């Protein structure tokens, strides 16, 4: 297993060993004992989502019962982003981004205290599997405008398909005035 840390403390890219040949591949996608050794929490729920091509979701976070998310593409490809929203962090407002591909299994660990979003890169769409370490609380959810220029995220492509909710997310400056972490 290969584990990549970033300049921002917290997020990790975890690439399990893949065994493959002309017939396909095998990979041990998740093993709790190994992930606990990496310092990740116990996970209590698996979520599965499907997004059409060019969909962008985010930037979302949970401030009441915050969730850490272990994100993986199982079909298609995504550009996945984590933004540090911890006011006391030296990397407050900075982000990391990775590409996740269904044919190259990897997990992206997005800890609580980070806003998360992704853009589908594959035309046929993408299926995303993510493990979380807390139950979802819709009353404790927030978000930030994915294209706020202060964040400087270079999202691939143009004209993403967005939900109405994601179109109306507050700015980074609005979050800074009332931080949740």
Determine whether 48 is an active site residue.
no
Give per-residue pLDDT as tens, 17-33.
999 999 998 998 888 99
**Cα(59)–Cα(32) distance, rounded to whole angstroms?**
27
Checking if the pLDDT of 10 tops 90, the result is yes
Cα→Cα distances 31→42, 46, 130, Å: 11, 14, 14
35, two tokens: 């992930």
Residue 56 confidence (pLDDT) above 90: yes
pTM of structure: 0.95
Please say if 175 is a catalytic residue: no
Taking residue 45's Cβ as centre, other Cβ atoms within 10 Å add up to: 12
DSSP string, 142-158: EE--TT-TTT----SSS
**What CA–CA distance (Å, rounded) separates 118 from 65?**
22
pLDDT of the residue at 67: 95
pLDDT band at 181 (very low <50, low <70, confident <90, very high): confident
Active-site residue, selected from the candidate residues 60, 95, 116, 175: 60
For each of the domains in the chain, give its residue range(s) and CATH number, in order of start. 2-177 (2.60.120.10)
Spot the catalytic one: 95, 116, 130, 175. 130
CB 141 within 8 A of CB 58: no
């Amino acid at each position: 297993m290969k584990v990549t840390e970033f300049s921002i403390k917290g997020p990790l890219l975890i690439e399990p060993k893949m065994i493959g040949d002309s017939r396909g591949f095998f990979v041990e996608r998740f093993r709790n004992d190994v992930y606990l050794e990496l310092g990740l929490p116990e996970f209590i729920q698996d979520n599965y989502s499907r997004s059409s091509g060019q969909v962008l979701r985010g930037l979302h976070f949970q401030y009441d019962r915050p969730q850490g998310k272990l994100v993986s593409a199982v079909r298609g490809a995504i550009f996945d982003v984590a933004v540090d929203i911890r006011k006391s962090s030296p990397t407050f407002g900075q982000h990391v981004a990775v590409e996740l591909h269904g044919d190259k299994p990897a997990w992206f660990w997005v800890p609580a205290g980070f806003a998360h979003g992704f853009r589908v890169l594959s035309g046929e769409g993408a299926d995303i599997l993510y493990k979380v370490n807390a139950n979802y609380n819709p009353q404790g959810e927030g978000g930030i405008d994915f294209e706020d220029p202060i964040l400087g995220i270079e999202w691939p492509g143009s004209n993403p398909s967005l939900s109405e909710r994601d179109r109306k997310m507050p700015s980074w400056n609005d979050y800074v005035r009332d931080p949740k972490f």
